[in-house]
Amino acid sequence: MLFMKGASPRPGRPLSRAFAAVLLGVCSAPALAQDLAADINTLRIDADVVWLSVASALVFFMQAGFALLESGMSRTKNAVNVLMKNYMDLCIGTLVFWAFGYGIMFGENSSGWFGHSDFLLSGADDLEYTALLFQTMFAATAVTIASGAMAERTRFSAYIVLSVVVTGLIYPVYGSWVWNGGGWLAERGFVDFAGSTVVHSIGGWCALAGIIVLGPRLGRFPPGKKPHGIVGHHLPQVALGGFILWLGWFGFNGGSTAAATTAIGAINLNTHLAAAAGMTGALAFSVLCRIPLLLTNAVNGALGGLVAITAGCATMAPEYAVLTGFIAAAFVIGGSALLAWFGLDDVVGAIPVHGFCGAWGTLAAGLFYLGDPFNLERIGVQLLGIGAGILWAFPVAWLLFRVIDLSMGLRVPQRYEMQGLDYAEHYEIAYPEFSEIRLHRGKPGVN
Amino acid sequence: MLFMKGASPRPGRPLSRAFAAVLLGVCSAPALAQDLAADINTLRIDADVVWLSVASALVFFMQAGFALLESGMSRTKNAVNVLMKNYMDLCIGTLVFWAFGYGIMFGENSSGWFGHSDFLLSGADDLEYTALLFQTMFAATAVTIASGAMAERTRFSAYIVLSVVVTGLIYPVYGSWVWNGGGWLAERGFVDFAGSTVVHSIGGWCALAGIIVLGPRLGRFPPGKKPHGIVGHHLPQVALGGFILWLGWFGFNGGSTAAATTAIGAINLNTHLAAAAGMTGALAFSVLCRIPLLLTNAVNGALGGLVAITAGCATMAPEYAVLTGFIAAAFVIGGSALLAWFGLDDVVGAIPVHGFCGAWGTLAAGLFYLGDPFNLERIGVQLLGIGAGILWAFPVAWLLFRVIDLSMGLRVPQRYEMQGLDYAEHYEIAYPEFSEIRLHRGKPGVN
Amino acid sequence: MLFMKGASPRPGRPLSRAFAAVLLGVCSAPALAQDLAADINTLRIDADVVWLSVASALVFFMQAGFALLESGMSRTKNAVNVLMKNYMDLCIGTLVFWAFGYGIMFGENSSGWFGHSDFLLSGADDLEYTALLFQTMFAATAVTIASGAMAERTRFSAYIVLSVVVTGLIYPVYGSWVWNGGGWLAERGFVDFAGSTVVHSIGGWCALAGIIVLGPRLGRFPPGKKPHGIVGHHLPQVALGGFILWLGWFGFNGGSTAAATTAIGAINLNTHLAAAAGMTGALAFSVLCRIPLLLTNAVNGALGGLVAITAGCATMAPEYAVLTGFIAAAFVIGGSALLAWFGLDDVVGAIPVHGFCGAWGTLAAGLFYLGDPFNLERIGVQLLGIGAGILWAFPVAWLLFRVIDLSMGLRVPQRYEMQGLDYAEHYEIAYPEFSEIRLHRGKPGVN
């Protein structure tokens, strides 16, 4: 029941014991102090849950950002398929992370390599549920990164298998090394506050394995000719996706305090400065390299800055946040060129943005550590963590994609790719009134 | 004035009495304890208002979700009209709920059937204003549900009358039975935590009455032929609408605690799990029934799961939240087929999603009640509440629509429907550069 | 590190001193009371930072609202350019406000005319960082207002210069008069709670100077003919932009408390009522003036109401908030007609919405001041503040635009304007598959 106006304004929660005792004047001073201290502690935990719940909502919304950005950077004929993959990795990922992933990542971790309790979490207290929801949103972020790079040619069912493996195995195992108190990287002092490596690089290396096994889209690298840049079909959607991701990052980084604390202020300022510097950097490098001032590069520059600041946002001065974001833009622009040079086809630039900038940001978190910058030992640990991420995620993902490819098939048939996956896999068209394809729907329930 | 840097960092609020007393060392221990307890209580209320304000903003944003989803599922020629109806029911609904609805729903309720005070609320305290704003967003949600089902053929002025009656009468009267401490269903222990029935089913039954009186769109059920599924014009907009609604639900359910409390954690976890299970269910049933994997069905599956978990999100274990959401998908898919079989034309599937899943979720809240599941008495009360919702909302709405139809006309003339309501009722086109219709605007002020 | 499940649920923050002392039973009563009071104070500051961080995120999101609204009201050929300008004023504005603007606005202000400390803020405490982030979002709002009015013909590089000058000089100097404790308007009791004048009117007067220097778009006022209303290309995007702006305003106004306090409830209720009344007013005036019921006018009506309530939202009864919003709609509709009558071309109606309604709202904050309405002295101070805003912002902005025009050129060449700025300045097309222009991209990195 919501508001019981007839009753007290906050039904279901009685007056605090201390407040009631004071009103009634019926208790001794020491007992009262104990009650007061307990009230304060309860209120603090309540405030933590409120903040984490808000942050969870913000990180959830990043799924919309990814969906719009990736769909907008794809062609019209695949717009629905990209959206569906983003929705499905969220849904499957949520259920799998609840069933397995959370236990592997945050369960009892006696070996230091993975957890082994808290599967299918139920009967837990509200704090643990709050943490599970927040972590679920992170797991969903990790898996969705691959969908953008692998867009426009990956089989829908294969992508669902990928979602299961990333949220149930690849992401939580690495995560347990860093964010589980018993993890071996945690014990070495590896700094990755909100997941430049844990979430973004891991997602990026999975994406890299994916596009290697998949191969480029038809016509992307025509033999004997210059590479053909395939442009996205809806740039305002890309811009909106970028804004939503930027917004969500205030929950992603700010929420990683796991508590209502003043540190959120500095963290979110750094987050915002790095994003602004990343986009400014993308334009500066575009002018320097005589590339047009593209919206897609600008948005990816901001995202690169956001990914990069994620590791060190809690332990960096503002001027270093600006520097971290600005340099990230170079990885975005340069990384895209590098991939194209290798004949790799990353539809949205996910690997430069999440993989390369995630690694750069994890290094930057060591380089620019507040009060102790440029400490070689710390930099060594950061490089160890970055390397461990690559060596874990890339081979496992590559193996997974090979197995999928040899069994069910990772890539759609060539005819499907030419028709577009919307028609071929969903019998649905993004903008049917602006398309020449006509659908014939007659059965009830199929509208 | 915002920040007075010259002055203290938080102007306008002096140091707490207890803190000042401690700093000055000028008071006795009992007086101090009293001050401390009062400070804690003030801070708790402040935290409640912060959380409810955030939740209000999230529920407000659901209006954008409905608008995009409904407009995207309509045809281009009615895209603006759908958006305008969503905007107008929010605006009219806000003013009417402030003037009448809130008083009927939460005013003094001596009879148990409706309140009768607090109209045109003014001079109230901040807590009451906070509650009014939060409740206004709920009222606006209830009314907007009908707009989607009745899209593409309802007269604009008639829809405004509907908005007034739903937010001023139909919704707040039923609401007073459940959420007003003096309501007769509240006294029987009816569980509808955040409004599966109060908001969603009530909206759904109004929508059902509406499409019965209206009749189907031209060409939806061609005589002697199979029903013709009319596809929406902009699926990425539908997908974004779905994401925004999902996001808003964290405020809708989480905010229904009406307090900053750890219970938000479990509530929002259940909310998210049910949504994920609903969408997963929609795809599972699609595979089973050999229906294509449609984005529209997937989004409606998630929404059905969200509607269903709304009643029981605070009193259900996570595994039951998953089950509740999964089963809701069957109501979404099956309900759409059922409506079509009856020749009823629900443009967006609002009746299955809000009406049927709302009823199912209200039942589920009884079936899976934490610590006391499958209690027949409780299930009986839930069925009573569900039935009372149908018996109140459907006949009153049906009567209203009949009266509108006989007086001002509920449905637009056939020529308007063929031209599209954007041109006929607003002289405005959603995407004028991609349309063959040309507008001629010359008068100042009309641009 | 995020969650250390092996360790305590909230790592990095030890138990409060008082709570620990109570648990251990090892301290005297006075010392304990002191600890308790300090704990409460810490928790209050934590709550303030949480709320301001949420509000900052909401105000940030308004950038997306402006971008969508302005892009949707422009033509397809300029859609990317408008988005890029919105993104770039945010990025450049963020860096410039950190470097200069914040110090001018909130630094030591011995003269009463501008501050002169805290440039390139670093090494500050978390509270100050929190304030800087919140204020950065306001600065970015002020500058983005001009982009809409001046859309479709302003040179990209010229717009970047404008962003620097507005966030580094025009906005913070006026802001220091009102929101810096030492400001001369602050000392006279000028009421502008969240910035009807400080943010919106200042932005509006800059926009007015801009469109005077720029001149109207080609074809907007054909000589010897009636003015030609150029319609926006994507109205659902306009509608979404409106919803996002409305959402963000709950942070804009509610966050201007700078504290977690119950006042947020009344403030956000007033905000919402004024918006609803503004949109309702726009429709009422449209019916009265026999103008079609346009979505663009409805959205601008809501925005006008929001701008107008911004000054007085904390010091007005709900019925006056409704009145303030309703009257704002007249300024929106009438103001657009007035501008067109003068041959001024404001693409999105930014000057009526932000300039005129900002001035009206600042006056209304004096007229309807809670507990002391219609006080002539207060009204005089409000008029002084409104006048000071015009006399500061308009001439400085006009001079700036003239200097830009004479040096680098404010307006694009006529050929660019006809081709569209997307192609001419970015070599990018918003919807390439729905356009006849074909881009040829071959170089790596340019995709």
- Contact between chains at A445 and B276 (C-beta distance less than 8 A): no
Query: Is the pLDDT assigned to residue A10 strictly greater than 90?
Result: no
- Contact between chains at A264 and C130 (C-beta distance less than 8 A): yes
Alpha carbon distance A93, A140 (integer Å) = 6
Strand partners of residue B154: B411
Query: Is the pLDDT assigned to residue C2 strictly greater than 60?
Result: no
The pLDDT value recorded for residue B440 is 64
Q: List all chains that touch chain C, counting a touch as 3 or more CB pairs closer than 8 Å.
A: A, B
Residues B21-47: b if buried by 16+ CB within 10 A, e if exposed: bbeeeebeeeebbbbbbbbbbbbbbbb
Query: Is the pLDDT assigned to residue B16 strictly greater than 70?
Result: no
Mean pLDDT of the region B21-46: 79
Mean pLDDT of the region B390-412: 97
- Contact between chains at A341 and C5 (C-beta distance less than 8 A): no
- Contact between chains at C126 and A266 (C-beta distance less than 8 A): yes
Q: Does B40 reside within a domain?
A: no
User: From the CB of residue B70, how many other CB atoms can be counted at a distance below 10 Å?
Assistant: 30
Give the gap in angstroms from C-alpha A237 to the nearest C-alpha of chain B.
9
Mean pLDDT of the region B417-435: 93
The pLDDT value recorded for residue A286 is 96
Mean pLDDT of the region C37-44: 95
CATH classification of the domain holding B325: 1.10.3430.10
Mean pLDDT of the region B289-299: 95
The pLDDT value recorded for residue A12 is 40
Q: How far apart are the first and last CA of chain A?
A: 37
Strand partners of residue C411: C154
What digits encode the pLDDT tens for the residues A398-436? 999 999 999 999 999 999 999 999 999 999 999 999 887
Alpha carbon distance B258, B106 (integer Å) = 14
What pLDDT band is residue B15 in, cutting at 50, 70 and 90?
low
- Contact between chains at A46 and B47 (C-beta distance less than 8 A): yes
Alpha carbon distance C75, B431 (integer Å) = 10
Mean pLDDT of the region A11-18: 52
- Contact between chains at A318 and C98 (C-beta distance less than 8 A): yes
The pLDDT value recorded for residue C34 is 86
- Contact between chains at A445 and B291 (C-beta distance less than 8 A): yes
Q: Does A296 reside within a domain?
A: yes
Query: Which residues of chain A does C98 touch, with a Cβ-Cβ cutoff of 8 Å?
Result: 273, 318, 322
Structure tokens at A245: 């991701």
Mean pLDDT of the region B5-22: 49
What digits encode the pLDDT tens for the residues C392-423? 999 999 999 999 999 999 999 999 999 999 99
The pLDDT value recorded for residue C33 is 83
Please, what is the average pLDDT of chain A? Answer: 92
Mean pLDDT of the region A23-36: 70
The pLDDT value recorded for residue B441 is 63
Query: Is the pLDDT assigned to residue A29 strictly greater than 70?
Result: no
- Reduced to 3 states (helix: H, G, I; strand: E, B; else coil), residue C411 is strand
Give chain B's domain count. 1
Structure tokens at B439: 């507008």
Query: Is the pLDDT assigned to residue C443 strictly greater than 50?
Result: no
What is the predicted ipTM? 0.95
The pLDDT value recorded for residue B447 is 39
C-interface mutation test, from A191, A243, A287, A347, most C Cβ less than 10 A away? A243
The pLDDT value recorded for residue C75 is 96
Mean pLDDT of the region C370-374: 94
- Contact between chains at C91 and A43 (C-beta distance less than 8 A): no
Alpha carbon distance C252, C199 (integer Å) = 11
Mean pLDDT of the region C248-262: 97
Q: Whole domain around residue A363: which residue ranges?
A: 63-112+123-441
Which amino acid type is present at position C209? A
Alpha carbon distance C387, C364 (integer Å) = 15
Q: List all chains that touch chain A, counting a touch as 3 or more CB pairs closer than 8 Å.
A: B, C
What pLDDT band is residue A33 in, cutting at 50, 70 and 90?
confident
Q: Does B447 reside within a domain?
A: no
Query: Is the pLDDT assigned to residue B91 strictly greater than 90?
Result: yes
What digits encode the pLDDT tens for the residues B325-383? 999 999 999 999 999 999 999 999 999 999 999 999 999 999 999 999 999 999 999 99
What pLDDT band is residue C82 in, cutting at 50, 70 and 90?
very high
Length of chain A, in residues: 447
Q: Which of C226, C322, C341 is opposite residue B95, by nearest beta carbon? A: C322
Cα dihedral sign, B182-B183-B189-B193: negative
What does the radius of gyration of chain C's CA atoms come to, in whole angstroms?
24
What pLDDT band is residue C269 in, cutting at 50, 70 and 90?
very high
What pLDDT band is residue C363 in, cutting at 50, 70 and 90?
very high
Q: Which residue has the higher pLDDT, C441 or C34?
A: C34
Q: Does A407 reside within a domain?
A: yes
CA B299 to chain centre: 16
Query: Which residues of chain C does B43 touch, with a Cβ-Cβ cutoff of 8 Å?
Result: 40, 43-44, 47
For residue C221, which phi and psi values (nearest 5 degrees)?
-125, 75
Structure tokens at B255: 């905010």
The pLDDT value recorded for residue C12 is 40
Cα dihedral sign, B103-B108-B111-B113: positive
Give the gap in angstroms from C-alpha A429 to the nearest C-alpha of chain C.
14
Query: Is the pLDDT assigned to residue C53 strictly greater than 90?
Result: yes
CA A286 to chain centre: 27
C297: Cβ contacts below 8 Å, ≥ 6 apart: C282, C283, C286, C291, C332, C333
The pLDDT value recorded for residue C21 is 62
Mean pLDDT of the region C425-431: 93
Nearest CA in chain C to A248: C57
Mean pLDDT of the region A220-245: 95
Q: Which residue has the higher pLDDT, C26 or C181?
A: C181
- Contact between chains at A273 and C94 (C-beta distance less than 8 A): yes
Query: Which residues of chain C does A54 touch, with a Cβ-Cβ cutoff of 8 Å?
Result: 50, 54
Q: What is the pTM of this model?
A: 0.95
Please, what is the average pLDDT of chain B? Answer: 92
The pLDDT value recorded for residue B442 is 52
- Contact between chains at C445 and A291 (C-beta distance less than 8 A): yes
Q: Does C271 reside within a domain?
A: yes
The pLDDT value recorded for residue C28 is 63
What pLDDT band is residue C112 in, cutting at 50, 70 and 90?
confident
Alpha carbon distance A55, B341 (integer Å) = 44
What digits encode the pLDDT tens for the residues C159-211? 999 999 999 999 999 999 999 988 999 999 999 999 999 999 999 999 999 99
- Element (H or E) spanning A299, and its range? helix A295-312
The pLDDT value recorded for residue C24 is 58
Alpha carbon distance B365, B274 (integer Å) = 13
Q: Which of B37, B254, B289 is opposite residue A19, by nearest beta carbon? A: B37
Which amino acid type is present at position A310? T
The pLDDT value recorded for residue A34 is 86
The pLDDT value recorded for residue C446 is 42
Give the gap in angstroms from C-alpha B242 to the nearest C-alpha of chain A.
9
What digits encode the pLDDT tens for the residues A61-106? 999 999 999 999 999 999 999 999 999 999 999 999 999 999 999 9
Q: Does C43 reside within a domain?
A: no
What pLDDT band is residue A22 in, cutting at 50, 70 and 90?
low
Mean pLDDT of the region A177-203: 96
Query: Is the pLDDT assigned to residue A17 strictly greater than 90?
Result: no
Alpha carbon distance A169, C379 (integer Å) = 66
The pLDDT value recorded for residue A108 is 93
The pLDDT value recorded for residue B18 is 62
Longest dimension (CA), chain C: 90
- Provide, rounded to the nearest whole percent, the portion of chain C with pLDDT above 90: 87
Mean pLDDT of the region B96-118: 94
CA A217 to chain centre: 25
C99: Cβ contacts below 8 Å, ≥ 6 apart: C119, C120, C168
Mean pLDDT of the region A167-181: 96
What digits encode the pLDDT tens for the residues A268-292? 999 999 999 999 999 999 999 999 9
The pLDDT value recorded for residue C403 is 98
Mean pLDDT of the region A210-225: 95
Q: Which of A11, A57, A444 is opposite residue B337, by nearest beta carbon? A: A444
Mean pLDDT of the region C61-86: 97
Query: Which residues of chain A does B296 touch, with a Cβ-Cβ cutoff of 8 Å?
Result: 428, 447
Contact by Cβ (8 Å): C208, C351: yes
- Provide, rounded to the nearest whole percent, the portion of chain A with pLDDT above 90: 87
Q: Does C40 reside within a domain?
A: no
Nearest CA in chain C to A333: C445
- Contact between chains at C441 and A229 (C-beta distance less than 8 A): yes
Q: Does A46 reside within a domain?
A: no
Mean pLDDT of the region B132-144: 96
Cα–Cα distances in angstroms (integers) from residue C276 to residues A152, B30, B258, C59, C328, in the given order: 43, 49, 24, 19, 11
